Structure 1
Amino acid sequence: MQEIKMIWISWEHHRRTIEICRKLDIPLHEIVIDRSRIIRIVISSLITLRIINRIRPCVLITQNPSYFLNIWAVVLKIFYKFELIVDQHNEGVIPYNYTQYFYKRACRLIQRHADLNIVTNKFLKSIIDNNDGKAITLFDRIPEFPVKNKIPLPDVFNIVFVCTYSPDEPYENVIEAVAKSRDNLRLHVTGNYKKARGRIDTNKYVNVTFTGFMAEQDYIDLLYSCDAIIDLTTRDNCLVCGAYEAVALGKPLITSDTIALRELFYKGALFTDNSKETITECINDLLIKYELLCRDIKMLKRELNDMWEIQYSKVADRIKELCESHSKK
């Protein structure tokens, strides 16, 4: 699609965005500013304006969140007359971390003014349809990790718990379940554990390693070297990133028992209601069924890659229609 004047702007780093841009063969402009919130918004807005003014795209694709990026894109659309496509993450459709009235109104405004909204599942599509927006589904592409290295881990069964210490992650239950589990397990908890200060004593657990925030390559190497992956959420319609990463690397998965996760990760995964008891049961089943789960997750990767190509072709057709419509204006 490179002949089409199309760009993607994001104010956050996200693997989904990188993978879709790679497939579309379009430039990605990541504007990630490490400053206080107000300064970050101002600087990012100015850089966004400069990029759009210089390139004058016929199609702009944005990632939501950030809400402020997308409100700004809606405003700039009036003056620069581009077609606006918004890749709507869960938080962009149903605010969870930001529940104030402003964010809910902003979500609906962005959904209605976008020429196309891309979402990961049919439930999120139905919400945007009900808000008078135009939506199409495309789950995350199974990521590619061209560089991955085996690193030394303890000589036991190693599980990585993909964690950011967000409010929707039942991390205390996972840690307690493993801490009271078998001696031949080691849990590696990713993410900045300082966010959970006061809730977790990182020195308390002999079979739990808190990695802290990791550089991306170190994180990939850890996932590649472990035996299985856990990624949980209390959000009903969230397709967690760690599940895609487990499929990409052929690692059996424990994830939350939601319709959205069950429908997509239907092989090579075990499902928990996020309680300590069922997490423990899943870990026990994982150890018993490990070889079978390894085979199934590799089969799932092939099947999801085929399914993604079908969904992607429909999205590409819609984007082509928008470009043709733009050229006639």
Structure 2
Amino acid sequence: MKKSVWITWDDHRRSRELAAHWGMSYKVFEYSGSMFIRYIKLSTKTLMYMSKNSPDIIFCQNPSVVLSALLTFFCNIKKITLVVDRHSNFKIASRKSLLPKWIIFHLVSDYSLQNADLTIVTNSEAANYVSSIGGKPIILPDKLPSDLSGVKRKLEGDVNFLFICSFSSDEPVDAVLACFKRLDKNYHVYVTGNFKKHRDWQQYRDDENIHFLGFVNEDTYLSYLKSVDVTIVLTNMPMTLNCGSYESVKAGKPQVVADSLVIKEWFRSGAVYVDPKDENSIFYGIRETIERLDDLKIAQRKFSETLESDWSVLEEKFRRAVTQNLGHKF
């Protein structure tokens, strides 16, 4: 491929893995201040980088929709090919909202969808949505991580769960935690993410089998992933395949996931499917993983090889499509 770069405002495993796999430069611009200042600083850094370099093709991660729109505008002027890797931040439920923030969001979002040369999505439902907006979608799910090494640690439960969580509104946090209040105290859950975003977190602080880890660095996260028996990766958001599920497959960990067509098409083994909006469904799904733990572990380890093979086939289709549609040998 010609001179290429992957640009992001948020270091993400999917972006790192794909950029490394394709031999691309990987540029992360970060700033942790207020949102308004962040956009100004990161936009300035990005444009300065672009002015000093002359890539033939740019890949960028979305989120951020602001980054994608900025690069779409820049690349259209400079006649540079732009491929946007769009995650699950389509915010479809707010599409008809009259609130100014959602009107602005969809105007900015649609601009990059309609004007980027290609938009990568992870599944067919998302591809159909991008097409309906006037974009040019191409499907490529996450590549299984190349390295998930971590130091194993001693955990407290007879069976230990890792709830891979960011305390976002699409995650059934209370339902999952309520399930562990109902379970025998020998079953422990370790919860990632900034739990202080959840206004009611203190009601669980006395439960000896619920452990809030807070926001952890990657080494600590991988250590817990290696040490637990099961992961919980749940979202109410449509068209979503979470990074945590790919990591669970690579690590050989059975997982509790949402019972959606998109998820079941890709994660076909080593998982228990539940309704993320129904606490009882989640409870009985967790119980099922405990009862079938050994069989699920074997199934997940075998499935990892299948998923690697499936991805290789899709990547080859992706490469041909990029070459055909963009004129860049890939």
SS at match of 1:201: helix
Measure, in 1, the Cα distance between the counterparts of 2:208 and 2:322.
52
Specify the code of the residue in structure 2 equivalent to 1:237: M
Deviations 1:117-152, CA, capped at 9 Å, x for gaps:
100000110111122211110011111225311111
Q: Is 1:59–1:323's contact at 8 Å kept on the other side of the alignment?
A: no
Q: 1:74, 1:80 → 2: CA distance? A: 10
Matches within 5 A, 1:25-40: 25-40=23-38
Q: CA deviation at 1:196?
A: 0.4
Q: Structure 1 residues 253 and 120 mapped into 2: Cα distance closer, same or farther (>3 Å)?
A: same
Encode CA deviations 1:212-254: one digit per residue, 9 max, x unaligned: 1111100011010001100101112111222111101000100
Q: How does 1:251-262 map to 2 (within 5 A)?
A: 251-262=253-264
Measure, in 2, the Cα distance between the counterparts of 1:192 and 1:171. Answer: 12
The one of 196, 220, 227 equivalent to 2:198 is 196
Structure 1 segments unaligned to the other structure (5+ residues): none
Q: Tell me which residue corresponds to 2:304.
A: 301
Matches within 5 A, 1:1-329: 1=1, 4-92=2-90, 94=92, 100-198=102-200, 200-274=202-276, 275-321=278-324, 324=327
SS in 2 for 1:106: helix
User: Residue 69 of structure 2 contacts residue 109 of structure 2 at CA under 8 Å; is this kept in 1?
Assistant: no
- TM-score computed with the length of structure 1 as normaliser: 0.93
Aligned residues: 324
Q: Deviations over 1:35-79 (max 9, x none)?
A: 111111111111111111112111011111111111111211133
Residue 264 of structure 1 and its aligned partner are, at CA, apart by 0.9
Q: How many angstroms apart in 2 are the aligned matches of 1:145 and 1:7?
A: 22
Q: Give 1:96 shift.
A: 6.4
The 3 A distance-change label for structure 1 pair 186 and 262 is same
Structure 2 unmatched runs, 5+: none
CA distance in 2, matches of 1:194, 1:96: 25
CA contact (8 A) 2:248 2:254 kept: yes
Q: Distance in 1 between matches of 2:72 and 2:93?
A: 19
- Look up the equivalent residue of 1:293 and give its one-letter code: L
- 1:250 aligned partner, one-letter code: G
CA apart distance, 1:203: 1.6
Take 1:319 and 1:287, find their aligned partners in 2: how far apart are those partners? 44
Contact 1:193/1:212 (8 A) holds in 2 = yes
Q: Which moved more, 1:63-72 or 1:308-317?
A: 308-317
Shift of 1:8: 0.8
Which letter does structure 2 place at the counterpart of 1:139? P
User: For the structure 1 residues 96 and 316, does the alpha-carbon distance in structure 2 shift closer, same or farther, using more than 3 Å as the test?
Assistant: farther
What are the Cα deviations for residues 135-193 of structure 1, in whole angstroms up to 9, with x where unaligned?
11001111122531111111521111111100000010000101111122011111111
Please tell me whether the aligned partners of residues 64 and 92 of structure 1 are also in contact (alpha carbons under 8 angstroms).
no
Note if contact 1:165-1:171 (Cα within 8 Å) is conserved in structure 2.
yes
- Partners of 1:213 and 1:252 in 2: CA distance: 23
- RMSD over aligned Cα, in angstroms? 1.9
Over 3 Å counting, the alpha-carbon distance change for 1:320 and 1:68 in structure 2 is same
1:106 positional shift: 1.8
